[in-house]
């Protein structure tokens, strides 16, 4: 997988050591990721994106679109998996827009994080298969296939799957934050 970390870091005027220190990782890891020699964890990518002040998927290489219509064909989607939370996210929309569309797959017992998180955005989730629980600001709703939920992502929130089967959902986020 190829990342744009070096390009964005240079635009921000940061050294490898400065980015590493602010993200809480080693300079060696940043260097290896920039050279394509290591694949960082999702949490490391989130920390790097936070320091660089870009949505997570902005770190991934994406060809520039010259057309006003962006099409992503099957097989072109970027996928990230985090074994620690049992979630796989697949970006279904091109980067650089004002909305981001992801498909999430969460294993039984999986969760997006152990503690609720917040970020400046809005999210709309539509459950495609299975059952998904969403905790927003201390209130939990359970969604089944075909159900949807919209919320202000500035409120602390997390997703989890208490069922015995995988849950699949589509999430639209504006502005992009993953």
Domain count of the fold of the chain: 2
Report the candidate in 51, 50, 20, 22 with the shortest Cα–Cα distance to residue 38: 20
In a domain, 68, yes or no: no
User: Domain with 33 in it: what CATH number?
Assistant: 1.10.260.40
Whether 106 and 86 have beta carbons less than 8 Å apart is answered as: yes
Round to whole Å and give the CA distance between 133 and 84.
18
Q: For residue 172, is the peptide bond before it cis, meaning its omega torsion is within 30 degrees of 0?
A: no
- Asked whether residue 83 falls in the same domain as residue 32, the answer is no
User: Domain with 94 in it: what CATH number?
Assistant: 2.60.120.10
In a domain, 69, yes or no: no
Q: What is the pLDDT along the chain (178 residues), one digit of tens a residue?
A: 678 899 899 888 999 999 999 999 999 999 998 888 888 887 888 899 989 988 887 887 655 545 567 777 888 887 877 767 788 888 888 766 788 899 999 999 999 888 999 888 899 999 999 999 999 999 999 999 999 999 999 999 999 999 999 999 999 998 877 6
Whether 31 and 3 have beta carbons less than 8 Å apart is answered as: no
- Asked whether residue 89 falls in the same domain as residue 30, the answer is no
Q: Count the Cβ atoms, other than its own, within 10 Å of residue 82.
A: 17
Contacts by residues 58-66 (CB-CB < 8 Å, ≥ 24 positions apart)? 58/4, 58/8, 58/95, 58/96, 58/176, 59/3, 59/4, 59/5, 59/8, 60/1, 60/2, 60/3, 60/4, 60/91, 60/95, 61/2, 61/3, 61/4, 62/94, 62/95, 62/96, 65/94, 65/96
In a domain, 82, yes or no: yes
The pLDDT score that the predictor gives to residue 59 is 84
State which of 30, 59, 88 marks the end of a domain: 59
- Asked whether residue 28 falls in the same domain as residue 93, the answer is no
In a domain, 12, yes or no: yes
- Asked whether residue 94 falls in the same domain as residue 55, the answer is no
Task: Determine the structural domain holding residue 52 and report its residue range.
Answer: 5-59
- Asked whether residue 28 falls in the same domain as residue 109, the answer is no
- Asked whether residue 83 falls in the same domain as residue 52, the answer is no
Rg (CA), the chain: 17
- Asked whether residue 38 falls in the same domain as residue 122, the answer is no
């Amino acid at each position: 997988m190829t990342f744009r970390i070096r390009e964005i870091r240079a635009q921000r005027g940061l050294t490898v050591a400065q980015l590493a220190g602010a993200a809480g990782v080693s300079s060696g890891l940043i260097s290896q990721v920039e050279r394509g020699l290591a694949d960082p964890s999702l949490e490391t990518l989130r920390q790097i994106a936070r320091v660089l002040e870009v949505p997570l998927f902005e770190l991934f290489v994406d060809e520039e679109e010259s057309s006003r219509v962006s099409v992503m064909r099957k097989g072109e989607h970027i996928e990230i998996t985090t074994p620690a939370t049992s979630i796989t996210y697949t970006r279904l929309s091109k980067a650089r827009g004002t909305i981001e569309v992801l498909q999430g797959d969460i294993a039984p017992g999986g969760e997006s994080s152990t503690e609720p998180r917040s970020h400046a955005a809005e999210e709309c989730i539509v459950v495609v298969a299975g059952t998904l629980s969403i905790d927003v600001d201390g209130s939990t709703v359970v969604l089944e296939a075909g159900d949807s939920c919209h919320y202000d992502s500035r409120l602390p929130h997390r997703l989890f799957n208490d069922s015995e089967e995988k849950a699949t959902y589509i999430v639209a986020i504006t502005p992009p934050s993953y």
